[in-house]
Amino acid sequence: MIMQTPRSETVQGSWEHFPHQADIGVRGIGPTKGAAFEQAGLALTAVITEPASVAPMEAVSMTCEAPDDELLLVDWLNALVYEMATRRMLFSRFTIRFSDHSLHATAWGEPIEITRHQPAVEVKGATYTELSVKQDGQGRWIAQCVVDV
């Protein structure tokens, strides 16, 4: 069930949240797997704050490795959770490149400002619940999972 009209729809795709009783699901949709992963990153930011309020000023690079696409999505979101927590930053723009079982990402964002960003909740981690990375009948890539908050 989709609870939210995507707030951001571009040629690169869209994101949305889906419900989980205690927590929240993030879903990225895009013409490529990379675009779907990037949109899932935006959906993650939107759990915390309005992505449009986050200026893409500083770049942070990340690399993840996992045996399959689904575990790679969880790793990617957990890498973002880690960078947000340790740098005390929020991110609003992403680029992703894949090679073999690896993902190389750059995330742009800015240090968190409580008054302006009004962060609702911190994400503890991405989970394997409702986890999937697949193409739908129209060829769109969909990357999703529930995140624990």
Partner 1 sequence: MDLNLLKRRGPDEWHIAPRGKMRVPGVIYATEDLIHDMDEKVYEQVTNVATLPGIVQASYAMPDAHWGYGFPIGGVAAFDPDLGGVVSAGGVGFDISCGVRLLRTGLTVEDLQLVKELLAEALFHRIPAGVGSTGKVHLDRYEMQAMLAGGARWAVGKGYGTHEDLEFIEEHGCMDDAKPEHVSDFAKKRQQDEMGTLGSGNHYLEVQQVVRLFDVETASVFGLRAGDVVVSIHCGSRGLGHQIGTEFLKSMVTTAARHHIELPDRELACAPINSEVGQEYLGAMRAAINCALANRQIVTHLVRQVFADIVPQASLSLLYDVSHNTCKVEEHVMDGIPTRLFVHRKGATRAFGPGHPDLPPSLRSVGQPVLIGGTMGTASYVLVGTKESMALAYGSACHGAGRSMSRHQALRQWHGRDVVKELATRGILIRSPSMRGIAEEAPGAYKDVSEVVDAADDASLARKVARLEPLVCVKG
Binding residues (CB under 8 A) for partner 1: these are 3-4, 17, 19-24, 48-49, 66-67, 71, 74-75, 78, 81-82, 85-86, 88, 112, 114, 118-122, 124-129, 131, 146, 148-149
- 3-state class (DSSP) for residue 43: helix
10 vs 118 by CB, closer to partner 1: 118
- 3-state class (DSSP) for residue 106: strand
82 vs 102 by CB, closer to partner 1: 82
Task: List Cβ neighbours of 12 (8 Å cut-off, separation of 6 or more).
Answer: 30, 31, 35, 38, 39
Nearest approach, Cβ of 30 to partner 1 (angstroms)?
A: 22
Nearest approach, Cβ of 33 to partner 1 (angstroms)?
A: 20
Instruction: Give the whole-angstrom CA distance, residue 76 versus residue 87.
Output: 16
Nearest approach, Cβ of 4 to partner 1 (angstroms)?
A: 6
35 vs 74 by CB, closer to partner 1: 74
Contact between residue 29 and residue 141 where contact means Cβ atoms under 8 Å apart: yes
8 vs 32 by CB, closer to partner 1: 8
* Assigned token pair, 125: 């981690």
Task: List Cβ neighbours of 119 (8 Å cut-off, separation of 6 or more).
Answer: 48, 49, 90, 112
Nearest approach, Cβ of 115 to partner 1 (angstroms)?
A: 8
